Amino acid sequence: MQFAFSEEEELIRESARRLAADRLAPLAEALDHGEGRDGFLANLKLMAENGFMALNVAAAYGGSEAGTVAFALALEEFAAACAATAVTTSVTNMVGEVIQAVGTAAQKEEHLPKLADGSYPAGAFCLTESGAGSDPAGMALRARRDGDSYVLDGEKLYITSGEYAGIFVVWAVTDPDAPKGKGISVFLVPAGTPGVSIGKAESKMGQTGSATNIVRFDGARIPAEALMGRENDGFRVAVGELAGGRIGVAAVSLGIARAAMDAAKAYIRERRQFGQPLASFQGLQWMIADREVDLHAARLLILDAAARKDRGDPFAREASMAKLFASEAAHRCTDTALQMHGGAGYCRDYPVERYARDARITRIYEGTSEIQRLIIARETLRQLG
């Protein structure tokens, strides 16, 4: 298979690279230290104005209509500069795609332009609960029909952008008596809805610039028109959207991995031991070779999954392959980069220790590595009939 990027895709990648270098990279260290929130929000607005918050949304709603390949290329560039900003961008694009896929005409007209132009700083994807992580069908948040409204009670955990999202896509149980996974619906809930409250940001190991919050629903009343798609059909929607989100996480993983290895290669070309640059030692050269294979293989898997999605072909298995391999490769690359720095890599004077922390979550969110293996095996066996 030949991957020849269109002129538009090349332009998007180059634009993302420039924006990442000019605005994201200079703020990444401050965000890692819990600072720079105003700059972070300003960068999100700028990215929206440059078309990066609605890359696969139709132009009629203000989107870029650039496709999934362009989405993956842009996220790699953003993540190489700042993983926290990249994951916020990825989730916001997911929110836009699910609204476009199953929202009503009124919902699309109301919310998609606000995601696209930055009126909403971000979008939030509310699926995970304390008892519904790898098994989202086990969720307990309840949406009870009451006349021309639904009333939501419960809470969601680990919600990216919870504290500054303008719109929440929320999954809730609408038929508790239905078989598991069959009585779930999906709703659009604007920020500021009475009864919706946001918990404090989690104190995390990495990607600290991206807020991760509990979102609580305490008798939150929303109009019946907030339902997206058919009632009790929300689990199918979630499964489909998670597959697309895995391409985003894979691209974020690749960007972190690339940044780590770029830093390591620069370091060993300058650092000298035994009278010569570290880069002249075969042991380190072999480490570079192995990681270059990881980077190239991850990129091909990501582009294959993205191209399949853009063509309208089945892509769930390929998205899981890309997410599994890229996230595991990010672990190998960041660990190798830290090792190549020696003791310096363990100190915050160099960015590789941040890359290692940022990479760790990629093997967990949007489905753990173990869940990806289950999906890949299941889809492979299904194709065998």
Per residue, the 3-state secondary structure of the chain, as one string, reads CCCCCCHHHHHHHHHHHHHHHHHHHHHHHHHHCCCCHHHHHHHHHHHHHCCCCCCCCCHHHCCCCCCHHHHHHHHHHHHHHCHHHHHHHHHHHHHHHHHHHHCCHHHHHHHHHHHHCCCCCCEEEECCECCECCCHHHCCCEEEEECCEEEEEEEEEEEECCCCCCEEEEEEECCCCCCCCCCEEEEEEECCCCCEEECCCCCCCCCCCCCEEEEEEEEEEEEHHHEECCCCCHHHHHHHHHHHHHHHHHHHHHHHHHHHHHHHHHHHHHCEECCEEHHHCHHHHHHHHHHHHHHHHHHHHHHHHHHHHHHCCCCHHHHHHHHHHHHHHHHHHHHHHHHHHHHHHHCCCCCHHHHHHHHHHHHCCCCCHHHHHHHHHHHHHHHCC
Which residues belong to the active site? 366
Place of tokens 């955990």: 157
Place of tokens 């009124």: 106
CB 184 within 8 A of CB 174: yes
Spatial separation of the C-alpha atoms in residues 181 and 188, rounded to whole Å: 19
CB 330 within 8 A of CB 256: yes
Q: For the chain, what's the residue count?
A: 385
